Homo-oligomer: A and B are copies of this chain.
Amino acid sequence: MYLLSKYMGLAKTEIFTDLQNEIALYAKVFGHPARVSILQHLFKIDTCVCGDLVNEIGLAQPTISQHLKELKNLGLIQGTVEGTSVCYCIHKENWTKMKEVMFKFLDQDLPKADCC
């Protein structure tokens, strides 16, 4: 009968805690290898990257632009216009905040006993 069809394909975020949704949002943005690649590159070059991300990663310019937008929306990177190009780098403060949230989630104490 599908009375609740308005929800299908859409996460029911309202039944979860803010923290659970926050963790999921961060994780989701890391859930694509292109975004992982972009972030690794930003860490590797240890400064802003201006323009060469499209060459670095083998995806079309609009695709890269879209991935950058998602990272920027979450606040994990920042971009500044530099002439005709845009320079991107890790948003250090927000990255650290994200790291604390994710570490706390990933680093919980494992159960002592072998239960099953």
Contact = CB atoms under 8 A, between A and B. Distances in A.
- Size class of the contact patch on chain A: 35 or more
Copy count, this protein chain? 2
A102 interface: yes
Nearest to A57: B15
Contact of A34 (B16, B88, B95, B111): B16
Interface of A: 11-13, 15-17, 20-21, 23-25, 27-37, 39-40, 43, 46-48, 57-59, 78-80, 82, 87-90, 92, 95-96, 98-99, 102-103, 105-116
10 contacts: A20-B37, A27-B30, A30-B31, A48-B116, A80-B116, A89-B111, A89-B116, A96-B110, A99-B107, A102-B102
